Amino acid sequence: MKEKKEVASRCKDKHICCSFTGGGSQNDHNIKLAPEKCAVYTSFVGLSLNTPLPVSKWPKPGVAINWVLPPEPVCSTDIDCKKLPKSSCVPSAAKGPKRCLCKVPYKWDPIKGACSKVKCETSKCRGERKRKKMIAGLTYTGGTIAILGSFAILVYIHLQRIKRKSREQLVRERQQILNANNSSGRSAKLFSAKEIRVSTGNFSKENVLGSGGFGEVYKGILQDGTVIAVKRAIFGNTKGNDQVLNEVRILCQVNHRSLVRLLGCCVELEEPVLVYEYISNGTLYDRLHVSCSSDHIEAPLNWKQRLAMARQIAEGLTYLHFSSVPPIIHRDIKTSNILLNEKLDIKISDFGLSRIVDNEATHMTTCAQGTLGYLDPQYYRDMQLTDKSDVYSFGVVLLELLTTRKAIDFSREVENVSLVSYMRKMVNQQKLLDAVDSFLKKGASKLVLETMKLIGILAISCLDEQRHNRPSMREVTDEIEYMLHIIEDKGAK
């Protein structure tokens, strides 16, 4: 409390006169008059001005400090901000000094003197954070999908390019195979994959004509209306592919009325395809063994028809063995590989196992292949293939024409399962005519029965265990031709 003369003059006749001048940063004061004195209380922390307490019980003076939060450190470059992680040196305000301002999402904490993450405590903040996380997640997911999609597209394009190059290489290799060992100079017409798919209805099951170990045969119609037979190898069967390509090479070198005519091939598909003339009347096997047991019953073949078929088959094989240059061994002669047209003329087919023989070679060594019941046993034993192996198979076909029995039939007695074994037994017992189809013998003249017997003996000679004892196909053809002339001259059927 301070007393000043200029203030005292204002008191005049007052008993007690006090004056107080506040100042500085004091923000509160309280003055109270007592009978004996004046008292004043000053404080920085504040005191209720209406306090009832006497002056003696007033609290001790305190200090209330008002201060400004410390700002971020001043800096010149980012190097000055090393002591404050997660900050960078940037201007804090217009014309203000550069300071180490915290990077997003950090915020300056003046109490800790560090850059700290802002704590999200309000619902609005949490919703905003959730929204940002969702956007970030969707962005990340979308980006990942886009990257993976782009990668998948690139991989697909790369694989397609590899596949296309592999197919082109495969086509070139197949064309080289077809051109190899082709002494005739003829080449098969190349059909496009599109032509083959369109003609067969994309290999529709409704167009299947037959199937075998090599694959399936489909009926097709070309754009010009030509009806064709399309043979397709089994997918992934390398052996079947080789057989189809081998068949093209063989058929490009032959031309005979008793051999099926090759129209061309397709090497663009994953499996090679052959295109033949369409033979409409099925196979000789079907005509002999299936037609009578099926709903579509056809008249049995008479003896003259069967002899004519035997002659055509023999002529076809004679052409392969003696007229073709170089000679060709069919290696799979059987009734299911002999096709019939509408006039019942025969067409030998399926040259997949056929082999071209060197003119100077007596035989060729190869793994024995063929069909059970038709396979030459000596070829099976010593792996030496000659034209006499075809003679053996033809002998079995002759027996089927004579007896209308299957080459192998497990429904027969064990000792008679093989038609060859059964006929040898009948010949040895001099009962050959007993084995002849009863339909053929019915109403036949003695001369016709004699030709049946001679054909049976000819067939047995073709089936001799030793190949050198078998006749050649040329000799067989002459024999059949002679008997057919006898029948025709006598007007017999």
Q: What is the pLDDT of residues 355-375, one digit of tens each?
A: 888 766 666 778 878 889 999
Q: What's the rounded Cα separation, in Å, for the pair 259 and 319?
A: 9
How many structural domains comprise the chain? 3
Q: What's the rounded Cα separation, in Å, for the pair 54 and 58?
A: 7
Same domain, 293 and 407: yes
Same domain, 218 and 348: no
C-alpha 142, offset from chain centre: 30
pLDDT mean across residues, the chain = 82
Domain assignment of residue 96, yes or no:
no
pLDDT at 161: 84
Q: What's the rounded Cα separation, in Å, for the pair 328 and 453?
A: 31
Q: List, in sequence order, every residue forming a beta bridge with 91; answer none if it has no partner.
A: 98
Q: Give CA angle at 243 (336, 390), nearest 5°.
A: 50
pLDDT at 137: 84
Higher pLDDT, 162 or 116: 116
Same domain, 200 and 302: no
Q: Which of 260, 278, 296 is the last residue of a domain?
A: 278
Q: Give CA angle at 254 (251, 257), nearest 5°.
A: 105
User: Cβ of 26: how many Cβ atoms within 10 Å?
Assistant: 13
Q: Which of 22, 37, 57 is the last residue of a domain?
A: 57
Among 21-25, 203-207, 259-263, 445-449, the range scoring the smallest mean pLDDT is 21-25
Among 286-300, 331-345, 422-436, the range scoring the smallest mean pLDDT is 286-300
pLDDT at 354: 87
Q: Where are the beta strands (DSSP E) in 103-222?
A: 106-109, 114-117, 189-190, 208-211, 215-221
Domain assignment of residue 244, yes or no:
yes
Q: 352 pLDDT exceeds 90?
A: no
Q: Which of 278, 297, 325 is the last residue of a domain?
A: 278
Same domain, 332 and 472: yes
Asked if omega into 52 is within 30° of 0 (cis), the reply is no
**Domain CATH code at residue 168:** 3.30.200.20
> Rounded to a whole number, what is the largest CA-CA distance in the chain?
185
Domain assignment of residue 426, yes or no:
yes
User: Cβ of 482: how many Cβ atoms within 10 Å?
Assistant: 11
Same domain, 345 and 457: yes
pLDDT at 67: 63
Find out whether 88 and 100 touch, Cβ atoms under 8 Å.
yes
Domain assignment of residue 118, yes or no:
no
Q: What's the rounded Cα separation, in Å, for the pair 373 and 407?
A: 5
Same domain, 383 and 465: yes
pLDDT band, residue 1 (cuts 50/70/90): very low
Higher pLDDT, 316 or 31: 316
Q: 461 pLDDT exceeds 60?
A: yes
Q: What's the count of helices (H) and strands (E) in the chain, helices before strands?
A: 12, 18
Domain assignment of residue 370, yes or no:
yes
pLDDT at 222: 92
Domain assignment of residue 62, yes or no:
no
Instruction: Calculate mean pLDDT across residues 222-230.
Output: 92
With tokens 């970030």, the residue in question is: 136
Same domain, 314 and 454: yes
pLDDT at 493: 47
Find out whether 388 and 376 touch, Cβ atoms under 8 Å.
yes
**Domain CATH code at residue 375:** 1.10.510.10
Asked if omega into 326 is within 30° of 0 (cis), the reply is yes
Buried b (16+ CB within 10 A) or exposed e, 275-303: bbbbbebbbbbbbbbebeeeeeeeeebeb
Q: What's the rounded Cα separation, in Å, for the pair 372 and 386?
A: 18
Q: What's the rounded Cα separation, in Å, for the pair 348 and 336?
A: 10
SS3 262: strand
Instruction: Calculate mean pLDDT across residues 292-316.
Output: 83
- Look up 332 and say whether it is catalytic: yes
Instruction: Calculate mean pLDDT across residues 453-476.
Output: 95
Same domain, 184 and 326: no
Q: 350 pLDDT exceeds 90?
A: no
- The residue annotated as part of the active site, out of 109, 242, 332, 376, is 332
Same domain, 313 and 328: yes
Same domain, 306 and 414: yes
Instruction: Write out the residue range of the structural domain in which residue 384 sits.
Output: 282-493
Q: What's the rounded Cα separation, in Å, for the pair 269 and 228?
A: 18
**Could you tell me which residues are annotated as the binding site for ATP?**
231
Query: pLDDT tens digit string along 101-160?
Result: 998 888 888 888 889 887 766 777 777 778 888 888 888 888 899 999 899 999 888 888
Domain assignment of residue 327, yes or no:
yes
Same domain, 315 and 360: yes
pLDDT band, residue 39 (cuts 50/70/90): low
Query: pLDDT tens digit string along 42-89?
Result: 654 555 555 666 666 666 665 545 567 788 889 999 899 998 899 999
**Could you tell me which residues are annotated as the binding site?**
231
Same domain, 317 and 439: yes
Q: List, in sequence order, every residue forming a beta bridge with 42; answer none if it has no partner.
A: 29
Residues 6 or more apart whose Cβ sits within 8 Å of residue 290? none
DSSP classification of residue 204:
-
Domain assignment of residue 72, yes or no:
no
